[in-house]
Amino acid sequence: MSLEQVRSEISRVDAGIIRLIAERQELADRVAHIKTKNGIAIHDEKRTAEVLSSVFDQAVERKINPVAVQKVFEILIAMSEERQKEFTDEENLP
């Protein structure tokens, strides 16, 4: 494979990652709706710890840097919580 072919594959994977992040954000809207309906706080420390532990273990299994993977997921969780807060604010508009 040439360098350009490998770069093309990386671009394809990057596009897939973006699609998955968008899907995760859409799910955050659904989570926000459920949390709002049930009076549950946006931030859930226990769930955050579970996710970060799980992705750490998955990264170890895949032999990729688990600390870096956790940092990526910290960003994704922050994005989800921000999206949930925006959704909650929209729900409370008159």
pLDDT of residue 50: 98
> Over 60: is that where the pLDDT of 94 sits?
no
Residue 7: predicted pLDDT: 98
Provide the token pair at 78. Answer: 């922050």
Q: What is the pLDDT of residues 79-88, one digit of tens each?
A: 999 999 888 7
pLDDT computed for residue 90 by the predictor: 63
By CB atoms closer than 10 A (0-12, 13-18, 19+), residue 32 is buried
Confirm if 36 and 88 have CB atoms less than 8 A apart: yes
Contact status, residue 83 vs residue 28, Cβ threshold 8 Å: yes
For residue 5, pLDDT over 70 is answered with yes
Please measure the distance between the N-terminal and C-terminal CA atoms of the chain and give it in whole angstroms. Answer: 58
